[in-house]
């Protein structure tokens, strides 16, 4: 009837009509048994015990975003396991700890305010270091490091889970250490022989062991010191290149090459302001040769005297903007990270340097600070060529270069009608407003500024009360992390700045939306013991430049108090207008 498949049973009928017996012998049964194809096994790599315990620890302790185990003593790779974000691993001191038995309690974590290494490029409020000495069998086997982003005390349940995790991690690390020692080959001991020593002294045999040279003889440089030395060489090289330059365009070319090598920018410009009118007198601008960079140059960023960077006494200002780039499928939106530095000389903002790069990742902290040092080196020379109106290279070879010699740094700008020390700065004026609010019985206030180029509200200043400090820890107002879109329909601060009127907010949720959800806002409201606030916009020369937020507090301030605060805000706006008019 045809050939049977490999998996079919074989049966038949003999001539006498009786059926053949199946399985007459064990050999026939094994040959004729069905063949079953098994599915291939999926082998999953087992997570190491230390790493698995660290992951459980991160899920058990709130606000713990990273943890790592460092062996003690360090053998090979000092880090046994790492989970989450760990800026402390950039600190060599924490990787080479040799903790004595009485330094820390065994298997019990403590919290320290340890400085964050600059290599970690941490942005925002600094975290706290969680550290524990891991002990098993009365022997220190490692150190547990953790990153905690909360200033609150650890709850009893989280503390119990943390202590239990320390004991489990210590046991796992200890077992690994014992396994390591067990696998170390043991040299066979040579058989002992009796040696008869003669009376006369004989020289001792030379040892066959090769003693390596001491590591202390070779000085080990700290990576931070090496980086600082390289940065200093870059700044010195730029300073030497600027020595013989007497015009703004030549200085701009040197700065362009320097910032491109440091930060890899797609666009760079230097704007020098007019000494009489509030406008740009000269702008050196360079973008890439590709079509997208050319479009970046056509859709310019605000770098005039009224831009955010020029009106605030900050060392730099960063934001993200969008431009439209025409592609094969039509116009596409491209994000650009912008970094602006105000140019200062004799306490006068006389220009702005702008760096742009495609993408929204921004610039690293190291590149930002190194470019700032390069800009500071060139500021006095740029101020000199601006005063001499020497923007382009001179066409006359016989013209003396002495006209652009730098004046003393303490010399006052030519446009200032009075000594520079008499005029307050923008930060001083705004700090005076916060101080006066405290004097009239409003201990918790903070300020935001309007950034029109980015369409954002940014945190500026905050008072020094205990509730204000807790609010600042959570939101990062004083460090610029508190940012709200100016077009947000549900945020009370954005609504007050858009409409230019006083707005009251009964809950903290209307102030921190969308940075916190309703539950997070309610938790923060309980922490600062109140949520009622009043937002008063600050208007200078017809434009809303910021807002003063009175609160949050438990009770809404009275009408007479609001009138006093409004008068203080109006006085501050007049002082700001006068300071900006004189380019302070």
34 band by pLDDT with thresholds 50, 70 and 90: low
Find out whether 268 and 286 touch, Cβ atoms under 8 Å.
yes
CATH class, 49-177 region:
alpha beta
Rg (CA), the chain: 36
**Alpha-helix runs per DSSP H in 117-189:** 156-182
pLDDT at 22: 45
Indicate the average pLDDT of the chain: 77
569 against 329, higher pLDDT = 569
pLDDT at 422: 61
pLDDT at 12: 45
> How confident is the model over 64-102, as pLDDT tens digits?
888 998 887 665 567 778 888 888 888 877 877 777 776
pTM over cut 0.85: no
Farthest-apart Cα atoms in the chain, separation: 132
CA atoms within a 13 Å half-sphere pointing along the CA-CB vector of 381: 24
Sequence ranges of the chain with CATH classification 3.30.450.40: 49-177, 225-387, 422-581
DSSP 281-292: EEEEEEE-SSHH
296 band by pLDDT with thresholds 50, 70 and 90: confident
Residues 448 and 455: their CA atoms lie apart, in Å, by 13
> How confident is the model over 523-556, as pLDDT tens digits?
888 888 888 999 999 998 888 999 999 989 888 8
583 band by pLDDT with thresholds 50, 70 and 90: low
Residues 67 and 65: their CA atoms lie apart, in Å, by 7
Q: Is the pLDDT of residue 280 over 80?
A: yes
Find out whether 21 and 51 touch, Cβ atoms under 8 Å.
no
Mean pLDDT of 420-444: 83
Q: Is the pLDDT of residue 136 over 90?
A: no
Burial of 481: CB neighbours in 10 Å, binned 0-12, 13-18, 19+: middle
Span 422-581 CATH architecture = 2-Layer Sandwich (3.30)
Which candidate, 467, 460, 426, places its Cα nearest to that of 444?
Answer: 467
55 against 547, higher pLDDT = 547
The tokens of 6 are what?
A: 């490999």
331 band by pLDDT with thresholds 50, 70 and 90: confident
Helix, strand, coil content of the chain in percent (nearest 5): 35, 25, 40
pLDDT at 409: 37
Cβ atoms within 10 Å of 358's Cβ, excluding its own:
19
Least confident of 175-184, 339-348, 390-399: 175-184
Cβ atoms within 10 Å of 415's Cβ, excluding its own:
14
The tokens of 520 are what?
A: 């997070």
Q: Is the pLDDT of residue 188 over 60?
A: no
**Alpha-helix runs per DSSP H in 243-388:** 248-263, 291-298, 308-311, 365-387
Q: Is the pLDDT of residue 467 over 70?
A: yes
Residues 494 and 450: their CA atoms lie apart, in Å, by 9
122 against 216, higher pLDDT = 122
pLDDT at 200: 46
Domain 225-387, what fold? Beta-Lactamase (3.30.450)
223 band by pLDDT with thresholds 50, 70 and 90: low
Least confident of 208-212, 305-309, 342-346, 456-460: 208-212
Percent of the chain scoring above 70 in pLDDT: 77
């Amino acid at each position: 009837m045809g050939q049977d498949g490999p998996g079919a049973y074989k049966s038949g009928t003999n001539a006498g009509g009786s059926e053949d017996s199946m399985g007459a012998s064990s050999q026939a049964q094994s040959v004729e048994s069905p063949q079953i194809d098994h599915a291939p096994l999926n082998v999953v790599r087992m997570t190491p015990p230390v790493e698995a315990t660290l992951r459980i620890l991160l899920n058990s302790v709130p606000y713990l975003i990273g943890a790592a185990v460092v062996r003690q003593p360090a053998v090979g790779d000092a880090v046994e396991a790492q989970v989450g974000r760990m800026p402390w691993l950039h600190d060599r001191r924490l990787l080479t700890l040799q903790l004595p038995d009485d330094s820390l309690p065994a298997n019990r974590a403590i919290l320290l305010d340890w400085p964050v290494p600059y290599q970690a490029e941490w942005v925002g409020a600094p975290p706290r270091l969680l550290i524990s000495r891991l002990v098993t069998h009365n022997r220190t086997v490692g150190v547990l490091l953790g990153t905690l982003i909360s200033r609150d005390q650890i709850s009893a349940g989280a503390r119990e889970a943390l202590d239990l995790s320390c004991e489990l991690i210590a046991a796992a690390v200890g077992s690994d250490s014992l396994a390591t020692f067990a696998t170390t080959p043991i040299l066979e001991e040579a058989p002992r022989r009796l040696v008869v020593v003669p009376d006369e002294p004989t020289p001792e045999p030379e040892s066959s062991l090769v003693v390596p040279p001491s590591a202390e003889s070779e000085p080990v440089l700290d990576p931070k010191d090496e980086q600082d030395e390289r940065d200093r060489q870059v700044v010195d090289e730029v300073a030497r290149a600027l020595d013989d330059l007497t015009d703004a365009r030549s200085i701009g070319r040197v700065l362009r090459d320097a910032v491109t090598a440091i930060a890899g920018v797609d666009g760079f410009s230097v704007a020098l302001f007019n000494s009489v009118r509030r406008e740009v007198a000269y702008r050196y601008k360079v973008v890439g040769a590709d079509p997208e960079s050319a479009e970046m140059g056509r859709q310019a960023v605000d770098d005039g005297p009224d831009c955010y960077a020029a009106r605030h006494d900050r060392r730099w200002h960063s934001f993200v903007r969008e431009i439209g780039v025409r592609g094969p499928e039509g116009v596409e939106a491209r994000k650009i990270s912008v970094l602006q530095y105000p140019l200062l000389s004799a306490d006068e903002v006389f220009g702005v340097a702008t760096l742009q790069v495609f993408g929204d990742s921004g610039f690293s902290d190291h590149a930002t600070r190194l470019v700032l040092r390069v800009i500071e080196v060139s500021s006095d020379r740029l101020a000199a060529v601006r005063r001499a109106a020497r923007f382009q290279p001179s066409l006359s070879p016989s013209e003396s270069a002495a006209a652009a010699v730098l004046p003393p740094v303490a010399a006052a700008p030519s446009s200032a009608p009075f000594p520079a020390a008499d005029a307050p700065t923008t930060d001083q004026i705004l700090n005076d407003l916060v101080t006066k609010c405290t004097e009239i019985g409003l201990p918790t206030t903070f300020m935001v500024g309007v950034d029109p180029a980015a369409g954002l509200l940014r945190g500026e200043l905050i008072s020094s009360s205990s509730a204000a400090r807790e609010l600042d820890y959570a939101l990062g107002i004083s460090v610029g992390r508190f940012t709200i879109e100016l077009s947000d329909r549900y945020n009370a601060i954005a609504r007050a700045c858009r409409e230019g009127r006083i707005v009251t907010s009964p809950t903290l949720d209307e102030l921190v939306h969308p940075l916190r959800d309703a539950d997070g806002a309610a938790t923060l409201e309980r922490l600062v013991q109140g949520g009622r606030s009043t937002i008063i916009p600050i208007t200078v020369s017809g434009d809303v430049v910021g807002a003063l937020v009175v609160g949050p507090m438990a009770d809404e301030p009275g009408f007479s108090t609001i009138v006093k605060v409004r008068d203080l805000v109006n006085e501050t706006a007049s002082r700001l207008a006068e300071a900006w008019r004189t380019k302070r």
